[in-house]
Structure 1
Amino acid sequence: MVLAMSNILLGSRALTQTELSGTLDYLSSGLSPAMQTAMHQQLTLSRGSYVPLSRSKPLLHVLREVASCITQNQRMVFTYRSSRPGETHARVHHAQPVALFFETYYFYVAMLSEEHAGYWLYRLDRIQAIQEKLPGEKLDYDERYSLQEHRNYAYLLDSGSLTRIRFRYYNYVQTALDHFPGSRVIRDYPDGSCVIEAYVKIDGAVLWLLSQGAGLRVLSPVSLVDRMRAMLQATLEQYE
């Protein structure tokens, strides 16, 4: 179990070198001296090749603070550095965190945001400072952010309408099925390709569909076919 958790942590690239070393040491601290030695040997190559994110920053303290706010139903006043074009400085936000999770290199916090008038995903590493904690609301279960829905329908971006898509896939089918939970094969072809159906938040799904190049062809809806064609054409024009 320690070996599995350690390798997952190393693959995440989320922590600074200092926080990584401390966390790995903590994970193995309950093992016998002999097992600790064996664990150190087994992780030598992985630890030596660890590459943190390009702008990694200490996260464990703010991770604890945000988790505490969720448990105690508190709102936060904090400064946040957005990735939106044109926003070059951190801005003050007012929001109540309700769900904390990790996904593709980053920790995210789903918050009920005053600035966005509803739920919004914030990246934990973009929170510059928590300025104040205030009493929040105890939300009913049906009003809380659905992390299950996010896991099932969102890929990279939790935005865009929930859409049923179909595409013909020419690469290894399990790759597509793993990226879109709940997707299914609805038709197989003699050449090994298949038609896959999935329900997705469309903006994030487009990023993955484009990443497959000629390995897939979108079949429906027509609006997505047109969107893919326009984006691919614009990409091609950059090389002319």
Structure 2
Amino acid sequence: MNKQNIRLLTLFDKLKSGKFFRKSDEATRFNVSEKTIQRDIDDIREYLGIEYPGSYLDFNRKEKYYFINRQESKYISSQELLAVVKILMDSRAFPKEEMHQIIDRLLDLSVNENKKLIESIISNEKYLYESLQNSKSIFETLWELGKSIDTKNVIQVSYKKENEDLAKTKMLKPVGLIFSEFYFYLIAYEANEDLDFPKTYRVDRIEDITILPTKFKVPYSDRFQEGEFKKRVQFMYSGELLHIKFRYTGWSPQAILDRLPTAKIIQQDVTGVYFTAEVFGEGIKMWLLSQAEYIEVLEPAHFRETIAQTIRKIHDLYGEQ
């Protein structure tokens, strides 16, 4: 590459990353005249007009520097960007250093005049950000899992549960990746078991992964869908798929519909609001019990009895001594 090409690419890379430059500084840096830098500026301006519609090279007359200005209608808006960054930090999904890198790269997408405002709004939360206990980088693992899901390859993983000393080797048929309440989860069927429902595995507990050449088939009619699975699972505990009916006497039926996307109101009277929902058993049991006396499970009978047995055990724990 000749010197002109290197200079052009260097200037464009600086602008594209959200930075700016002054003509005089770059002329000194590259040991050329300001007239030469001006020709580079004209080339960059023309290139932006062709390849980046919605962006243009702007000039700050007061500070005398050039920068790329973006029309927010063509890109993520500053308001959208602020919301995304706030949600990302609240997830606590990544180690602090990685989270800061992601946020900084996202902020480079903002138009220059709004970048400092967003940085000011999030500065305290960013500084005080705390990742989860034992947080580790999982980007490479997520990528490998994503590839195996796409190609439908069986995988071998070393998986270590929280209270186990040694990791166990598992052969899995991966079908989905989901993020829920701080953690990423792999949704997979055990290759050596014949279950009607998949299991969930925390991605941060996978210590090693090998994509095997063995393929598995997912008939289109039974194709796993992360979105549909997530509608029916609570706290990432799967289990038997249930069709339940319950009565709610709390103050916000809307909160029930938001929490259980498959829930439907079938009746409402002075005794309460009656819902049906399609859910996986273990997680929904935990959530229903968290609602205390405001929810009564009505159907199915065996699930109602399971809830009742748990409540009796709780009563024994807190009953009169």
TM-score after normalising by structure 2: 0.66
Which protein has the larger Cα radius of gyration, Structure 1 or Structure 2?
Answer: 2
CA contact (8 A) 1:76 1:132 kept: yes
Q: 1:190 to 1:117 in 2, by over 3 A?
A: closer
Equivalent residue runs for 1:1-240 within 5 Å: 1-83=80-162, 87-117=164-194, 119-131=198-210, 133-137=212-216, 139-156=218-235, 157-190=237-270, 193-240=272-319
Residues 96 and 185 of structure 1: CA distance in aligned 2, closer, same or farther (over 3 Å): closer
Give 3-state SS (helix, strand or coil) of 1:158's partner.
coil
Contact 1:153 1:162 (C-alpha < 8 Å) held by counterparts: no
Flag the 1:186–1:132 CA change in 2: closer, same or farther, 3 A: closer
Paired residue secondary structure (2:318): coil
Identity within the alignment, %? 23
Shift in CA distance, 182/175, structure 1 to aligned 2, threshold 3 Å: same
Greater shift after overlay, 92-101 or 133-142?
Answer: 133-142
Query: Equivalent residue of 1:31, what SS?
Result: coil
Q: Please give the root-mean-square deviation of Cα atoms over the aligned residues, in Å.
A: 2.3
Matched residues in 1 for 2:154 and 2:297: separation?
43
The answer to whether the 8 Å contact 1:171/1:215 transfers is no
In 2, the alpha carbon distance for the partners of 1:184 and 1:44 equals: 42
Code of the aligned partner of 1:97: P
Say which SS state the counterpart of residue 120 (structure 2) adopts: helix
Runs (4+) of structure 1 exceeding 6 A deviation are none
**Contact map agreement 1:101 1:109 (CA 8 A) in 2:** yes
**Gaps in structure 2 of 5+ consecutive residues:** 1-79
Structure having the larger proportion of residues in helix: 2
Is the Cα contact below 8 Å between 2:199 and 2:238 reproduced in 1?
Answer: no
Name the CA distance, whole Å, in 2 between partners of 1:137 and 1:227.
36
d(CA) in 2 for partners of 1:217, 1:140: 38
- Contact kept in structure 1, 2:233 and 2:284, CA below 8 Å: yes
* CA distance, structure 1, for counterparts of residue 219 and residue 274 of structure 2: 40
TM-score (norm 1): 0.86
Say whether the 8 Å CA contact 1:187–1:196 is kept in structure 2: yes
Specify the SS of the correspondent of 2:184.
strand
1:183 deviation in Å? 1.1
